[in-house]
Amino acid sequence: MFCYQCEQTAGGKGCTKQGVCGKTAEIANLQDLLVFQIKGISCYAKEMIERGEYIDKSIVILIENILFTTLTNVNFDASVHVELLKETQKVKESLRNHVGEIHNNTAQATYNLPDTKTDMLKDAPLAGIMYDNALDPDIRSLRQTIVYGVKGISAYGHQARSLGYYSDQVDNFYILALEAVTDDKLSVEELIRWTMRIGEMAIEVMKKLDEANTNTYKNPTPHKVNVNIRKGPFIIVSGHDLKDLEMLLIQTKGKGINIYTHGEMIPSHGYPNLKKYPHLVGNFGGAWQDQQKQFDNLPGCILMTTNCLMKPRESYKDRIYSTNVVGWDGVKHIKKDEDGEKDFSEIIQQALELGGFLEDEEPHEILVGFGHHATLSYAEKIVEAVKSGELRHFFLIGGCDGARPGATALADAFQTDVNGLPLSLIVSWYEQKAVADLLALLSLGIKSIYLGPSLPAFLSPNVLQYLVDTFDIRAISTAEDDIKTCLKQS
Ligand code: SF4
């Protein structure tokens, strides 16, 4: 195996025996093959786009699900990968029959998947990142950056689609970008242009997700969230999928079960149509990296709706559930029915049987819900505070929620461009969504972004130098030094 798609990659270079994330060589190899297959599908689908033909959404959904499945900390279940692989072969064959001769007749397009997992694994090396040793390192670097950016976009696209929203432009872009990375004729310059297009599409998909979330659950407003525990049975919901949270809230209504968010799900408390449920009682735990310790022997259940899932300990493996594209071998999985609904009765029953926390803790509240809508409603006050010197500098740390309207609309209020604001953008990247976020900011022309905690291993020295020269990207150093440098700009 070889994988260097996330920040925790072994030795800052690449995981080669076992992923630091817990991914086995078997899963890594199956994931390589999955990405190889969707590149092959894209070679045929691109021809259809060029001919002006409609691409069935089931094909787009398969591509999107595979991109998201192979994102860091999402799926570790070999049987899911094998099933998806078989599906890719069926789709590829039907496209091949439909399209006939194609211009870019790549290895990915002509490859035929064998029937068994053993044979698939034998073939997997040809799909590996380092398979072609002689490949120009900058071409490899840019191709991988594009694939990781598209994976990031797929996470947002998947979330929007679960609420019934999608962008045809993004759907076609998955195909066009995946085909582009198989095209040996594309130069470094052309691949750089593709990387910038990833940023534009990341903005497009975030706009679509914002529309999906705010039309469905209304604009987030500031809201106090209790981060301490309440007595009684409970289910913790982790990940990003608001639809799953809503379905669970509806199904647990009046059952005496408290629902806590965890990790990336905390912003859900700001949405009026979610916070209206009184049994959405608070947030449990801290960062996702602490989940193994925090879920240990928990007297309740956990639902993982998207990443980040870590290897479940035996002490809670029987009470953690996955849904959507998330999976771990041996962890119970909740599927969607034909109407898009999910039956949460098993997790609800188990949560009731486990009994939950025995005592209330003294409440401790934190504020969430500062989406771009809420922030911009204070634009006038913010402008005044800056002019009076009361507010000296803005720090925007990571995140992807409303990057465009939040940053650029504030710049409009100051009648400047975003680079003219006393603003420092710090992108703390971990997995591929942050790659899409970073490229989104670069495509907006935003400069001097601090990137860390370490620089991506998949950026070759030349590609990194290009980003430094063009966008003044800076590596994060120490908090004290970075704050000093940022404040010097004020
Ligand atoms: Fe390593 Fe990250 Fe890849 Fe996991 S996702 S194998 S930790 S580089």
- The pLDDT tens digits for 221-268 are 999 999 999 999 999 999 999 999 999 999 999 999 999 999 889 999
Separation of 166 CA from ligand 1 center, angstroms?
29
23 ligand 1 Cβ < 6 A? yes
**How sure is the predictor about 431, in pLDDT bands with cuts at 50, 70 and 90?**
confident
Separation of 27 CA from ligand 1 center, angstroms?
11
Write the CATH number for 18.
1.20.1270.20
Exposed/middle/buried for 35, CB within 10 Å: 0-12, 13-18, 19+? buried
Mean pLDDT within 80-90 = 98
Q: Report which ligand 1 atom has the smallest distance to the Cα of 7.
A: 2
Question: What pLDDT does residue 413 have?
Answer: 62
166/191 same-domain check: yes
Q: Compute the C-alpha angle 114/119/125, nearest 5°.
A: 105
Exposed/middle/buried for 140, CB within 10 Å: 0-12, 13-18, 19+? middle
Separation of 15 CA from ligand 1 center, angstroms?
6
255/349 same-domain check: yes
Of 1, 2, 7, 8, best ligand 1 pocket probe by most atoms within 8 Å of the beta carbon: 8
**How sure is the predictor about 383, in pLDDT bands with cuts at 50, 70 and 90?**
confident
Write the CATH number for 281.
3.40.50.2030
As given in the structure block, the two tokens for residue 251 are 């199904």
Give the mean pLDDT of the chain: 92
Of 13, 21, 311, 429, best ligand 1 pocket probe by most atoms within 8 Å of the beta carbon: 21
273/194 same-domain check: no
383 ligand 1 Cβ < 6 A? no
27 ligand 1 Cβ < 6 A? no
d(CA 272, CA 375): 16
279 ligand 1 Cβ < 6 A? no
Q: Is residue 481 part of a domain?
A: yes
Domain boundary residue, one of 336, 367, 398: 367
98/207 same-domain check: yes
Stronger pLDDT, 393 or 489, i.e. the higher one: 393
Separation of 292 CA from ligand 1 center, angstroms?
18
Q: Output the CA–CA distances (angstroms, integers) from residue 405 to 174, 256, 323, 372, 401, in the order listed.
A: 24, 40, 31, 7, 9
Mean pLDDT within 142-146 = 98
**How sure is the predictor about 401, in pLDDT bands with cuts at 50, 70 and 90?**
very low
Q: Is residue 397 part of a domain?
A: yes
Separation of 435 CA from ligand 1 center, angstroms?
14
Separation of 303 CA from ligand 1 center, angstroms?
23
Q: Is residue 145 part of a domain?
A: yes
* Total domains in the fold of the chain: 3
The answer to whether residues 435 and 441 touch, using CB atoms and an 8 Å cutoff, is no
29 ligand 1 Cβ < 6 A? no
Q: Is residue 1 part of a domain?
A: no
Q: Is residue 2 part of a domain?
A: no
Q: Is residue 435 part of a domain?
A: yes
Q: Report which ligand 1 atom has the smallest distance to the Cα of 22.
A: 4
Mean pLDDT within 97-102 = 95
**pTM of the shown model:** 0.93
164/235 same-domain check: no
Nearest to 348 by CA among 305, 319, 387: 319
Question: What pLDDT does residue 405 have?
Answer: 41
Is residue 409 predicted with pLDDT exceeding 80?
no
Of 1, 4, 7, 23, best ligand 1 pocket probe by most atoms within 8 Å of the beta carbon: 23
- The pLDDT tens digits for 453-465 are 889 999 999 999 9
Q: Is residue 4 part of a domain?
A: no
**Residue 234 belongs to what domain range?**
223-367
Separation of 94 CA from ligand 1 center, angstroms?
33
- The pLDDT tens digits for 285-316 are 988 888 999 999 999 999 999 988 999 999 99
Mean pLDDT within 25-51 = 98
4 ligand 1 Cβ < 6 A? yes
Nearest to 325 by CA among 57, 76, 55: 76
d(CA 283, CA 223): 12
Domain boundary residue, one of 216, 245, 261: 216
Question: What is the residue type of 24?
Answer: T
Question: What pLDDT does residue 490 have?
Answer: 59
362/374 same-domain check: no
194/87 same-domain check: yes
Q: Report which ligand 1 atom has the smallest distance to the Cα of 457.
A: 8
Q: Report which ligand 1 atom has the smallest distance to the Cα of 4.
A: 8
Question: What pLDDT does residue 485 have?
Answer: 78
**How sure is the predictor about 403, in pLDDT bands with cuts at 50, 70 and 90?**
very low
Cis preceding-peptide flag for 308 (omega within 30 of 0): yes
Is residue 486 predicted with pLDDT exceeding 80?
no
Helix axes 25-50, 168-180, angle to 10 degrees: 110
264/234 same-domain check: yes
168/254 same-domain check: no
15 ligand 1 Cβ < 6 A? yes
The answer to whether residues 5 and 458 touch, using CB atoms and an 8 Å cutoff, is yes
185/52 same-domain check: yes
d(CA 44, CA 96): 7
Is residue 217 predicted with pLDDT exceeding 60?
yes
ipTM of the complex: 1.00
180/32 same-domain check: yes
**How sure is the predictor about 402, in pLDDT bands with cuts at 50, 70 and 90?**
very low
Domain boundary residue, one of 304, 335, 367: 367
206/322 same-domain check: no
Q: Output the CA–CA distances (angstroms, integers) from residue 475 to 147, 427, 452, 479, in the order listed.
A: 23, 10, 6, 12
Q: Is residue 421 part of a domain?
A: yes
Question: What pLDDT does residue 399 have?
Answer: 47
